[in-house]
Amino acid sequence: MEDNSALLSRKRLSFIIHPSAFIIPPIPYPPSPIPCKLTAMSHEKILIVEDEEEIRELVVYNLGKQGYQAIPAETGEEGLRLVRSEKPDLIVLDLMLPGVDGLEVTRTLKRDPATAAIPLVMLTAKGEETDIVAGLELGADDYLTKPFSPRVLTARIRAVLRRKSEE
Ligand code: CA
């Protein structure tokens, strides 16, 4: 009799806390409709206006490696056209360009309310102090003197984008 009741209570216990009660069925994870911040950041579009192929390709390569969407332009005219069609998040602009030069591109962009707020980092050669001052006064955000390290350029770009997003 005692044995039976013990067996019964064990059976009841095993029924109450059956191991299957602890098995949590796998929850299907649907793809998140909201992209994480890192993904959004990595898709920032940067336009590089530089007539020197070697520098242009170096910058495009390095920005691409950092996860940016780098768009190259060879001339000031092409740069201005791409600003309007691509709406970049930032522009890297060489000042010494054939035809429409960097300062003229800056002036045109800053005059137009549609493009005036796009951050601008100038690329300059040694001895272009007057142009650097003019560019900064026109509203450029930063500059880098050639030859420059791609890592420093990326850091400057990141800093300018961060400043702009905090404004
Ligand atoms: Ca140049």
- pLDDT exceeds cutoff 60 at 34: no
Between the CA of 81 and the centroid of ligand 1 the distance, in Å, is 18
Residue 126 pLDDT: 87
Between the CA of 26 and the centroid of ligand 1 the distance, in Å, is 59
Per-residue pLDDT band at 25 (split at 50, 70, 90)? low
User: Does the N-terminal peptide bond of residue 147 adopt cis geometry, omega within 30 degrees of 0?
Assistant: yes
Q: What is the largest CA-CA distance in the chain?
A: 106
Between the CA of 9 and the centroid of ligand 1 the distance, in Å, is 88
Residue 51 pLDDT: 98
Mean pLDDT of 13-18: 58
Between the CA of 105 and the centroid of ligand 1 the distance, in Å, is 13
Mean per-residue pLDDT of the chain: 86
Between the CA of 43 and the centroid of ligand 1 the distance, in Å, is 27
74-128: per-residue pLDDT in tens? 999 999 999 999 999 999 999 999 999 999 999 999 999 999 999 999 999 988 8
75-90: per-residue pLDDT in tens? 999 999 999 999 999 9
Which residues sit with Cβ closer than 5 angstroms to ligand 1, an ion?
51, 94, 96
Q: Cα–Cα distance between 8 and 78 in angstroms, integer? A: 86
Between the CA of 55 and the centroid of ligand 1 the distance, in Å, is 9
Between the CA of 18 and the centroid of ligand 1 the distance, in Å, is 76
Cβ count within 10 A of residue 97 = 24
Between the CA of 97 and the centroid of ligand 1 the distance, in Å, is 5
- pLDDT exceeds cutoff 80 at 21: no
Between the CA of 106 and the centroid of ligand 1 the distance, in Å, is 15
Residue scoring higher pLDDT (30 or 40): 30
Residue scoring higher pLDDT (109 or 25): 109
Between the CA of 89 and the centroid of ligand 1 the distance, in Å, is 22
Per-residue pLDDT band at 40 (split at 50, 70, 90)? very low
pTM: 0.75
Q: Cα–Cα distance between 54 and 52 in angstroms, integer? A: 6
Between the CA of 150 and the centroid of ligand 1 the distance, in Å, is 16
Residue 23 pLDDT: 66
Mean pLDDT of 127-140: 95
Residue 127 pLDDT: 86
